[in-house]
Amino acid sequence: MARVYNFSAGPAVLPEEVLKEAAEEMLDYRGCGMSVMEMSHRSKMFDQIIKEAEQDLRDLMGIPDNYKVMFLQGGASQQFAAIPMNLMKKGKAGYIITGQWAKKAYQEAKKFGEAVELASSADKTFSYIPDCSDLPITDDMDYVYICQNNTIYGTVYHELPNTKGVELVADVSSCFLSEPVDVKKYGVIYGGVQKNVGPAGVVIVIAREDLIPDEPAVKNTPTMLNWKIQADANSLYNTPPCYGIYICGKVFKWLKKMGGLEAMKALNEKKAKILYDFLDQSELFKGTVVPEDRSLMNVPFVTGNADLDAKFVAEAKAAGFENLKGHRTVGGMRASIYNAMPIEGVEKLVAFMAEFEKNNK
């Protein structure tokens, strides 16, 4: 069966090279006679896998030595609770609401302390990033929280908020490793891997050591959500998502082979420009995000007619373009063009859109 062009927002497209390597090693990983799925997480072989994965990630992102890297379970959504549980020492934090995931994190934080809405773009269906140059941040806040790239709505922070000295915590799930990042600007940077890094089931948390408390801020924090326990155990307190970490490690090596994050940024900008340039000149399709806040990873668009949107999605699927239907909360269409989406996938999608427009005037 021929592979389709998969524009899913997550779980999402992975590099073919990585999938082929994993297939070759499925039954016998490097002569050990077993799959990574089957080996002990305490074995020397898996110890090498997880240590190499962490080092390659550190190399790619330039992660300083005073930051811990944790490969955890539960996805980004579980960290919505873990973050306030570990960090809310003063019992207060600021949240910038730019979409569904930031809103869910904000609502979760309210269970453990005072969560303050600093700004929101809900008034225009999260189609822009609010002005974050002078937010009502106070000294008694433990952190300021953002979702850096908003998968559903297709917006991204091109500039980080002015947090006025308060630690920045960022969910980067859907822009993870898509471009260079200065980790030192964040207290905590984390993301689920299923959008741009690996298979669902792993969340990577990168936290500055001095922010990882000896005792969590919230009393009776569950052991599995206690960052200190997880960091001290080097992500091996219990059986981690071994196979997912193994695939992430292969993606890290693929990214290094491709030239690192600078090279990926250049490629992602080129892909996004092809699609956005078409949307800007199209008489049928329209992007839904203000140009200055557009994501390189997730591109939502509409025709303005729900029936025509549905027709487009159906015909695109028949033509080999999968998962273009927009999120159920917003409708329309969305093309997620993560690192592993080849440029020809975007070119062919645009050609298909042009033909559809011609036939549906």
Cβ-in-10-Å burial (0-12, 13-18, 19+) of 68 comes to buried
Radius of gyration of the CA atoms of the chain, in A = 21
140 flagged as catalytic: no
Which H, E and C letters describe 228-253, residue by residue? HHHHHCCCCCCCCCHHHHHHHHHHHH
Residue of 92, 101, 254, 271 marked catalytic: 101
101 flagged as catalytic: yes
131 flagged as catalytic: no
Residue of 171, 227, 250, 271 marked catalytic: 171
Closest CA to 244 of 22, 9, 17, 4: 22
Which H, E and C letters describe the chain, residue by residue? CCCCEECCCCCCCCCHHHHHHHHHCCCCCCCCCCCCCCCCCCCHHHHHHHHHHHHHHHHHHCCCCCEEEEEECCHHHHHHHHHHHHHCCCCEEEEEECCHHHHHHHHHHCCCCEEEEEEECHHHCCCCCCCCCCCCCCCCCCCEEEECEECCCCEECCCCCCCCCCCEEEECCCCCCCCCCCHHHCCEEEEECCCCCCCCCCEEEEEEHHHCCCCCCCCCCCHHHCHHHHHHCCCCCCCCCHHHHHHHHHHHHHHHHHCHHHHHHHHHHHHHHHHHHHHHHCCCCEECCCHHHECCCEEEEECCCHHHHHHHHHHHHHCCEECCECCCCCCCEEEECCCCCCHHHHHHHHHHHHHHHHHCC
Residue of 195, 250, 271, 325 marked catalytic: 195
| Residues recognised as catalytic | 101, 171, 195
